[in-house]
Chains A and B, each alone.
Chain A
Amino acid sequence: MNKLRLIIAREYMSIVGRKSFIFMTLGMPLLFILIGAVPVLLAYLNDKGSDTQQIAVIDETGRYATALHSDDMYNFVALRGDTVTDAREFYDKSNGSIDAVVIIPRDVDSTGVVDIFSEGTITPALVSTLRNTLTDTIEAAHLTAMGIPDIQQMIEKAHVDVDVRTIKWSEAGDEQASSTEAAMGLGLMLSLITYMFVLMYGAMIMNSVIEEKTNRIVEVVVSSCRPFQLMLGKIIGVGLVGLTQMAIWIILLAIVGTVAGSVLGWTGVQAPSPEAIAKVQDMGAMQAIMQQVMSINYVPIVLNFILYFIGGYLLYSSLFAGLGSAVDQPSDSSQFTTPVILIMIIAFYAGMACMENPSGPMAVWCSIIPFTSPVVMMIRLPFGVPFWQLALSLALLFGTALAITWLAARIYRRGILHYGKKASFGDLFKWMK
């Protein structure tokens, strides 16, 4: 036990102490923030950076051009339809002082088509501004033209958004409000975490095994402890590294979330730019989702998540450790890892497919088969799973995980001392005996 602790500590420190770990741990969230922030930033720079565009609006109807309001980006200059006969000539004569010409044709009420001309680029933002403003204006004009009094108010009154509430009947007979969206989101998140963690840290274990073999340190180490202790130490050590990394990410996320929330709230009050409003509205939606998320009963989900997480990690990481021991170089490992990764991907897609029908036969089977259950059961958990299925699935998962660990240890014991000729799957089976 003492040796196991030593091995775990060394394995843990060897990864956590590395610069690349600190880099990864801090870099990943930064990368995500960057991915999120760049479009907003670019849009912002676009707004601020470019000059106000001069848009000539030739309104042949004479009724709608006034609806286009100038702002920082676009200065709409309304022109009477009869003053300009040739838009092209008008554009050319302006010598670049006009960026685009909009023509609202006389028959716009019936066709609903407006043209915009320019030698330069016409931005999608301009097109959508025109489309939204003119659609609303012309629609309102049509309604008014119908001559029914208070039509606007009537329409507003008649407008309805249907909200489908999902209410779960428990066996005891009481009703519990639940949210399918929140359940789906939570399930997806849990299965993604499991999937990412197993793949990332499984690969890390394999590299660590191969590194010891290439280093030739492994023979010295196994002359001091049992190969099984070394393998288990690695699995636990790397698992702890993963948990550390997750903990750091959660803390970072909390900090960034708090800071970003307060900053966004502040700008929302000061300058209600469209982006900020959209953000605030998003946050409102987020809050609504959060409330739904809160309605889910967490204790059994978290407990099961931890159990499946441990079982799945043990299962796949010992597979990776066993397979890693059979190769001399990381570049040779793909022949063994490909099938494992394939199983993981199948599990993930099965999970996706099960979201549509979390109680269907496919979902049930995939959440009981040990190789897919850690991912698929995560999807099902928030929707509620019968106890016997959970019990069967967990028993199978842990039984298989222990069996695989035992087999992997047998492969590992032989593999770490095997150099030279590339091992085949046949060799692995022989080593298991």
Chain B
Amino acid sequence: MAYLDINNVVKRYEGHTALAGVSMQVEQGCIYGLLGPNGAGKSTLIRIINRILAADEGTVTLNGKQMTDDDITHIGYLPEERGLYKKMKVGDHIVYLGRLKGMTKADAVASMHWWLDRFDLKEWENKKVENLSKGMQQKVQFIGTVIHRPPLLIFDEPFSGFDPVNAEQLKVEILALRDQGSTILFSTHNMASVEEVCQQITLLNHAQVVLTGSVDEVKQRHKKNIIAVQTPDVIEPNDNLFTLLPPDPVKKHDTRIKLAQGVPVRDAINWLNEHYRLTGFTEVLPSMNEIFIETVKSKNVENNE
């Protein structure tokens, strides 16, 4: 049984369907990427998990139990569009968010101090939020999300608006939380970050799941049987085994070949090794970005036809 189990969730608005029967299983202690273009239904799904919206059909279970309003204390949620009360003091603000999630005052204060210390924001505790830089406000938002030590964390586009240094710090914190046993649901269209941190992904498009699985498995499934070969020689095409592809714009010195249907990698490499001076070869796996674009585009074409 998955930690967070979303089963056939449907959400309709006047005039359109935001989620048309979405299912998703998130295992405990993993970082799960929820991907999809704008308007695919990611935010609606996240709001349903957070019980901000109610699903029209389907169930959401947490740790094997149907979710109730009380479960929101087990979730830390950082929405894509996030903000703070500008006139509140940093410390008071964090404590308020913690207590809203059911912490005692003493616990919230202690936790707030620990996190402010960790993010080097100690001297800002009694300053008003409006006096903080944007980067610091984002750190405060992050602290507000994790202060109550929730077992399930939901980040909607967490890196948007962060500079590279802060984004890196945030990534380290997220991985540390995962190592401490938190389950993390991660909604983004930043594919580089998906490859770096996510183990599992689900790709939503037009209110439906179009792709799901572990990152490695998805990559294997979408590989195009392309091999990058390093050799000083000029390789001639061999129609039985492979066709030549135009060189990669970044790695210009590699020769890229695409294997013919049903040809094992080993046969092609053996043949090449016999005829040319091979210095190396690597199988080219598609990046998550390519898979994302390809899947979304092909589905859109299907839908349009």
Contacts and interface: CB of A to CB of B under 8 A. Distances in A.
Which of A3, A14, A17, A417 has the most chain B CB atoms inside 10 A of its CB? A417
B258 interface: no
Contact of A217 (B47, B51, B84, B145): B84
A254 interface: no
A110 interface: no
A311 to B, nearest CB: 29
B132 interface: no
Contact of B79 (A10, A14, A219): A219
Contacts of A215: 83-86
A266 to B, nearest CB: 45
B99 A219 contact: no
Given A14-B88, A223-B75, A417-B52, A3 B100 contact: yes
A224 to B, nearest CB: 4
A216 B81 contact: yes
Interface string B63-78: 0000001001101011
Contacts of A217: 82-85
Contacts of A212: 85
A220 B86 contact: no
Contacts of A214: 83
Contacts of A226: 69
A216 B96 contact: no
B101 A216 contact: no
B144 interface: yes
A6 B100 CA distance: 7
Interface string A2-14: 0100110010001
Given A14-B85, A215-B83, A430-B14, A220 B47 contact: no
A17 B100 CA distance: 20
B81 A219 contact: yes
Interface string A219-246: 1111111110000000000000000000
Contacts, number: 62
Given A223-B52, A417-B52, A216 B99 contact: no
Contacts of B79: 216, 219-220, 223
Given A14-B87, A215-B85, A226-B69, A220 B96 contact: no
Interface in B4-62: 14, 47, 50-52
Which of B50, B73, B79 has the most chain A CB atoms inside 10 A of its CB? B79
A220 B69 CA distance: 15
B177 interface: no
A165 interface: no
Contacts of B96: 6, 10
B100 A225 contact: yes
Contacts of A93: none
B97 interface: yes
Contacts of B86: 215
A153 B141 CA distance: 88
Which of A3, A10, A219, A223 has the most chain B CB atoms inside 10 A of its CB? A223
Contact of B144 (A10, A17, A220, A417): A220
A159 interface: no
A419 B14 CA distance: 16
Contacts of A18: 87
A219 B100 contact: no
Contacts of A6: 96, 99-100
Interface in A387-433: 417, 419, 430
A10 B93 CA distance: 10
Interface in B67-121: 69, 72-73, 75, 77-79, 81-88, 96-97, 99-101
Nearest to A214: B83
B144 A219 contact: no
Interface in A1-46: 3, 6-7, 10, 14, 17-18
Contacts of A221: 100
Contact of A223 (B72, B99, B141): B72
A221 B84 CA distance: 10
A225 B75 CA distance: 12
Nearest to A213: B83
Contact of A216 (B51, B69, B72, B83): B83
B72 A224 contact: yes
Given A6-B96, A216-B79, A219-B79, A224 B101 contact: yes
Nearest to A217: B83
Which of A17, A212, A222, A430 has the most chain B CB atoms inside 10 A of its CB? A222
Nearest to A17: B87
Interface string A139-181: 0000000000000000000000000000000000000000000
B289 to A, nearest CB: 28
Contacts of A222: 52
A9 to B, nearest CB: 9
A7 B85 CA distance: 13
A77 B88 CA distance: 72
A223 B69 CA distance: 10
A215 B87 CA distance: 11
Contacts of A417: 47, 52
Contacts of A219: 52, 77, 79, 81-82
Interface in A185-221: 212, 214-217, 219-221
Given A220-B141, A226-B69, 10 more contacts: A10-B96, A215-B83, A219-B81, A220-B77, A220-B82, A220-B144, A223-B51, A223-B79, A224-B73, A227-B52
Interface of B: 14, 47, 50-52, 69, 72-73, 75, 77-79, 81-88, 96-97, 99-101, 141, 144-145
8 contacts: A7-B100, A10-B96, A216-B82, A217-B82, A220-B77, A220-B83, A220-B141, A223-B52
